[in-house]
């Protein structure tokens, strides 16, 4: 090699190393250290030099991660060491049996286990020769897989060459290729916009992407790799004592490994880990279908050996399946508390996520057409954790000829009011407001729900009857209920009627946060309600807050603020609140906030006179608020009067105020004054 070529080679090596390091920081550590523009500049520089010196291009160059010419078929690869499967357990008792067997074989009283998530992706094997990625294969039947090297080369988190000094001649890394949940959602959205294939779940998306004959397509898919082991290797570079040391070693070679991997002791440690990861499952960035337990000591692993096609030293402890297949019998439209019309699938009962599911949400009309769901279809249903079950996708191959497309109704199925879909919104809403019995029922159910006023026993069936028989129209009516009205309802024994009355009575003592949440203000959930309660200290402060005041509250933006203003601007809502308070619904207001602001309030000690009709409040309401803040309301104007509040058609008090030069306020100005501390 002449001098220049040698220089070029050195420059190429350096650039490739740099870019791979940035790839590692970006794709594995999720912590980029340089701006994208700088990365792009280096990458273009590398491309440029390679174009000029095509002879120096190698397969390990980061420029080769974009994919190669499409294949006609995948070649077969015989695995050097078979890719085994794991024995499964679902119950704690099976885990206990596993640990007992392990202890018996090893003749020890306690065992240390390496524990890790069980990734729900596709098993692959990566072969490195002298630190260079040579071949990558699928698991296949465990003995023979498919050569997907070109596709795996496009997965940015798979190192193309290992930079460490401590690299054996031959290293076979085993792990899983998957798609992160966020990436999956983004990919599907993008595909939907382009009218391309929608994937049912991240696993299918990963599988579809990895088994592409055209690696250039794979290169556009956001795939990740996670290493969970190696083929046993006696090279001195490779740790020989424990599985956890191997995982650390792989991480040091820049392979991604699960952050959740750790080491525990005994069966109790295994079960505690299962519970811990189970609780985190929905928050993890990837789908997992269980956890894997592995005896940590490699010597003990060898001693335990294998049975059939699975190691005796490892066990997969699976979570209940979150997806199942069933038939969609019909689609109903449900009316929510805020009038949102939600299409709901009625299903042939199916056991999923640990419970039997008969209904699943279809979200909205767009989602139904995106997934092309029809009545009569065989569908995949998903129930993850506490999340409402949903229809994920259709098994098109099983679509019957008479499958019926669904049409979103133009009118509310509960009250017949027009259903409208605002521009830019995905949902249609009933315009019937609180005249719509369905919205009324939902509002009452929400008011009585556990996290709101917590009225035990006031369930769907009872609310249906109360609303349908016009006994209860809004939450305030609940506090007027008597034993007779209740006991006359169908299937209502006197005992349960008195239990409900007792529960209603008990609910009167509540907290401000619960009360605000119970009102069911659009966009005000439990957390916002708590923030509002804490910030304003009293309901009156909240009720007369303007946008500026509201957006000072953490997490309250203009949209939420507007929802709050709209809610309190509604006369009907203020009346319900007033009636609730009159019936004895009460809470401890934040004395501190109230008394401090009382003393320093602009209204404190001032004398008011009201005349004329105010646009948004009755005179009684105005009087009450003024008095709440320490003001006094009198009937006639004198020199001592500080303010005269003037509405439409004012009387002679208006003239008197002008002649005496008393400050005049309209409703707007009064509100501003009420907010002045």
Contact pick of 229, 520, 537, 647 for ligand IVH (by CB under 6 A): 229
Q: How far is the CB of 113 from ligand IVH (least distance, A)?
A: 12
Beta pairing class for 262-265 and 224-230: unpaired
Residue 175, classified by CB atoms within 10 Å of its CB into exposed (0-12), middle (13-18) or buried (19+), is buried
> Which long-range CB contacts under 8 A does 96-103 form with residues at least 24 apart?
96/267, 98/293, 98/315, 99/266, 99/267, 99/270, 100/267, 101/312, 102/295, 102/304, 102/312, 102/313
Nearest residue to ligand IVH, scored by beta-carbon proximity: 123
Q: Which stretch binds ligand IVH (CB under 6 A): 71-79, 93-101, 116-124, 632-640?
A: 116-124
Contact pick of 292, 347, 392, 603 for ligand IVH (by CB under 6 A): 292
**First vs last C-alpha separation in the chain:** 82
Among candidate residues 187, 194, 155, 191, the one with its CA nearest the CA of residue 173 = 155
Residue 116, classified by CB atoms within 10 Å of its CB into exposed (0-12), middle (13-18) or buried (19+), is buried
Q: Which is closer to ligand IVH, CB of 318 or CB of 541?
A: 318
Task: Strands of 22-162 (E only): list them.
Answer: 76-78, 88-89, 112-119, 122-129, 132-138, 144-146
Q: With contact defined as beta carbons under 8 Å apart, do 346 and 354 qualify?
A: no
Q: Which is closer to ligand IVH, CB of 116 or CB of 477?
A: 116
Q: How far is the CB of 125 from ligand IVH (least distance, A)?
A: 10
Q: Which is closer to ligand IVH, CB of 84 or CB of 132?
A: 84
Q: Which of residues 609-648 bind ligand IVH (CB under 6 A)?
A: none
Which of the residues 107, 118, 276, 599 is marked catalytic? 118
Q: Which stretch binds ligand IVH (CB under 6 A): 23-31, 112-120, 418-426, 664-672?
A: 112-120
Q: How far is the CB of 246 from ligand IVH (least distance, A)?
A: 12
Contact pick of 16, 65, 79, 118 for ligand IVH (by CB under 6 A): 118
Q: Which of residues 442-481 bind ligand IVH (CB under 6 A)?
A: none
Q: Which is closer to ligand IVH, CB of 118 or CB of 535?
A: 118
Quick one: three-class SS letters along 260-324?
CCEEEEHHHHHHHHHHHHHHHHHHCCCCEEEEEEEECEHHHHHHHCEECCEECCEEEEECCCCEE
**For residues 60-94, b (16+ Cβ closer than 10 Å) or e, as one string?**
bbbbbbebbeeeeebeebebeeebbebeebeeeee
Q: Which is closer to ligand IVH, CB of 114 or CB of 453?
A: 114
Q: Which stretch binds ligand IVH (CB under 6 A): 61-69, 81-89, 464-472, 610-618?
A: 81-89
Q: Which stretch binds ligand IVH (CB under 6 A): 44-52, 79-87, 322-330, 354-362?
A: 79-87
Q: Which is closer to ligand IVH, CB of 74 or CB of 286?
A: 286
Q: Distance between CA 599 and CA 631 in Å, rounded?
A: 11
Contact pick of 264, 295, 304, 314 for ligand IVH (by CB under 6 A): 314
Q: How far is the CB of 108 from ligand IVH (least distance, A)?
A: 21
Q: Which is closer to ligand IVH, CB of 295 or CB of 550?
A: 295
Q: With contact defined as beta carbons under 8 Å apart, do 118 and 292 qualify?
A: yes
Question: Does residue number 123 form part of the binding site for ligand IVH (CB under 6 A)?
Answer: yes
Contact pick of 8, 34, 42, 84 for ligand IVH (by CB under 6 A): 84
Residue 640, classified by CB atoms within 10 Å of its CB into exposed (0-12), middle (13-18) or buried (19+), is exposed
Q: Distance between CA 627 and CA 607 in Å, rounded?
A: 10
Q: Would you call 403 helix, strand, or coil by DSSP?
A: coil
Q: Which stretch binds ligand IVH (CB under 6 A): 6-14, 310-318, 358-366, 451-459?
A: 310-318
Q: Which is closer to ligand IVH, CB of 249 or CB of 515?
A: 249
**Which CA distances in Å does 499 have to 452, 457, 466, 484, 492?**
19, 8, 16, 13, 11
Question: Does residue number 116 form part of the binding site for ligand IVH (CB under 6 A)?
Answer: yes
Q: With contact defined as beta carbons under 8 Å apart, do 109 and 103 qualify?
A: yes
Q: Distance between CA 654 and CA 122 in Å, rounded?
A: 81
| Residues β-bridged to residue 113 | 264, 295
Q: How far is the CB of 380 from ligand IVH (least distance, A)?
A: 21
Q: How far is the CB of 115 from ligand IVH (least distance, A)?
A: 9
Q: Hey, what are 669's tokens?
A: 């100005």
> Which H or E run includes 335?
strand 323-335
x/- track of binding to ligand IVH for residues 126-165 (CB under 6 A): -------------x--------------------------
Contact pick of 12, 15, 77, 86 for ligand IVH (by CB under 6 A): 86
Question: Does residue number 207 form part of the binding site for ligand IVH (CB under 6 A)?
Answer: no
Q: How far is the CB of 316 from ligand IVH (least distance, A)?
A: 6
Complete DSSP assignment for 468-514: HTTS-SSHHHHTT--HHHHHTSTT--HHHHHHHHHHHHHHTEE-HHH
Q: Which is closer to ligand IVH, CB of 148 or CB of 513?
A: 148
Q: How far is the CB of 318 from ligand IVH (least distance, A)?
A: 10
Q: How far is the CB of 293 from ligand IVH (least distance, A)?
A: 10
Q: Which is closer to ligand IVH, CB of 156 or CB of 243?
A: 243
x/- track of binding to ligand IVH for residues 164-183 (CB under 6 A): ------------x-------
Residue 641 neighbours by CB under 8 Å, 6+ apart? 607, 608, 609, 634, 657, 660, 662
118 is catalytic: yes
Among candidate residues 270, 226, 233, the one with its CA nearest the CA of residue 247 = 226
Q: Which is closer to ligand IVH, CB of 184 or CB of 567?
A: 184
Residue 112, classified by CB atoms within 10 Å of its CB into exposed (0-12), middle (13-18) or buried (19+), is middle
Q: How far is the CB of 313 from ligand IVH (least distance, A)?
A: 9
If binding means CB under 6 A, how many residues of this protein chain bind ligand IVH?
15
Q: Which stretch binds ligand IVH (CB under 6 A): 118-126, 183-191, 509-517, 597-605?
A: 118-126
Residue 69 neighbours by CB under 8 Å, 6+ apart? none
Q: Distance between CA 624 and CA 544 in Å, rounded?
A: 12
Contact pick of 47, 85, 511, 618 for ligand IVH (by CB under 6 A): 85
Q: How far is the CB of 314 from ligand IVH (least distance, A)?
A: 5
**Which residues of this chain interact with ligand IVH, rule CB under 6 A?**
84-86, 116, 118-119, 123, 139, 176, 228-229, 292, 311, 314, 316
Active-site residues, by number, are 118
């Amino acid at each position: 090699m002449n001098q220049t070529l040698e220089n070029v080679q050195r420059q190429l090596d350096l650039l490739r190393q740099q870019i791979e390091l940035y790839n590692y920081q970006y794709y594995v550590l999720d912590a980029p250290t340089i701006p994208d523009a700088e990365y792009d500049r280096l990458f273009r520089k590398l491309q440029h030099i390679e174009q000029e010196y095509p002879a120096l291009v190698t397969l390990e160059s980061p420029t080769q991660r974009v994919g190669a010419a499409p294949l006609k078929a995948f070649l077969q690869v015989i695995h050097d060491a078979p890719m085994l499967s794991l024995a499964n357990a679902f119950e704690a008792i099976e885990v206990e049996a596993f640990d007992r067997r392990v202890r018996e074989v090893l003749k020890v009283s306690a065992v240390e286990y390496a524990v890790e998530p069980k990734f729900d992706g596709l098993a692959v094997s990566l072969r490195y020769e002298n630190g260079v990625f040579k071949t990558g294969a699928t698991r296949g039947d465990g003995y023979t897989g498919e050569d997907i090297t070109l596709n795996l080369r496009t997965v940015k988190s798979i190192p193309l060459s290992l930079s460490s000094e401590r690299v054996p001649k031959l290293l076979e890394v085993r792990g899983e290729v998957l798609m992160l949940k966020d990436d999956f959602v983004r990919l599907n959205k993008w595909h939907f916009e382009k009218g391309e294939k929608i994937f049912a779940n991240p696993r299918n998306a990963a599988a579809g992407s990895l088994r592409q004959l055209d690696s250039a397509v794979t290169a556009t898919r956001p795939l990740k790799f996670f290493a969970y082991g190696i083929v046993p290797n006696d090279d001195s570079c490779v740790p020989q004592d424990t599985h956890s040391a191997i995982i650390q070693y792989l991480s040091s070679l820049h392979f991604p490994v699960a952050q959740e991997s750790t080491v525990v002791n005994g069966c109790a440690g295994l079960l505690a880990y299962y519970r811990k990861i189970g609780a985190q499952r929905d928050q993890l960035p990837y789908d997992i279908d269980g956890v894997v337990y592995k005896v940590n000591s490699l010597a003990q692993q060898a001693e335990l050996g294998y049975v059939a096609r699975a190691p005796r030293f490892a066990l997969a402890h699976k979570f209940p399946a979150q997806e199942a297949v069933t038939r969609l019998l019909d689609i109903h439209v449900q009316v929510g508390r805020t009038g949102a019309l939600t299409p709901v699938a009625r299903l042939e009962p199916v056991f999923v996520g640990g419970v039997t599911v008969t209904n699943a949400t279809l979200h909205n009309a767009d989602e139904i057409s995106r997934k092309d769901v029809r009545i009569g279809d065989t569908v995949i249903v998903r129930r993850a954790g506490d999340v409402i079950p949903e229809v994920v996708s259709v098994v098109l191959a099983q679509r019957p000829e008479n499958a019926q497309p669904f049409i979103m109704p133009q009118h509310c199925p509960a009250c017949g009011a027009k259903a409208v879909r605002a521009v830019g919104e995905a949902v249609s809403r009933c315009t019937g407001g609180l005249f719509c019995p369905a919205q009324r029922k939902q509002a009452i159910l929400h008011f009585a729900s556990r996290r709101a006023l917590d009225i035990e026993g006031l369930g769907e069936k009872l609310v249906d009857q109360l609303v349908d028989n016009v006994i209860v129209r809004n939450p305030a009516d609940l506090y007027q209920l008597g034993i007779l009205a209740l006991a006359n309802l169908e299937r209502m024994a006197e005992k349960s009627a008195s239990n409900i009355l007792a529960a209603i009575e008990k609910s009167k003592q509540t907290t401000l946060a619960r009360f605000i949440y119970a009102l069911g203000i659009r966009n005000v959930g439990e957390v916002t309600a708590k923030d509002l309660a804490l910030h304003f200290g009293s309901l009156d402060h909240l009720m007369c807050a303007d946008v500026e005041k509201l957006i000072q509250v953490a997490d309250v933006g203009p949209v939420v603020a507007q929802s709050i203003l709209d809610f309190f601007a509604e006369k009907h809502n203020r009346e319900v609140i007033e009636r609730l308070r009159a019936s004895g619904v009460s809470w401890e207001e934040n004395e501190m906030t109230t008394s401090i602001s009382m003393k320093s309030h602009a209204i404190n000690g001032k004398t008011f006179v009201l005349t004329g009709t105010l646009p948004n409040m009755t005179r009684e309401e105005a009087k009450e608020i003024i008095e709440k803040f320490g003001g006094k309301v009198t009937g006639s104007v004198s020199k001592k009067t500080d303010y005269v509040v003037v509405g439409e058609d004012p009387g002679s008090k208006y003239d008197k105020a002008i002649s005496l030069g008393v400050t005049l306020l309209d409703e707007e100005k009064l509100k501003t004054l009420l907010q002045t501390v």
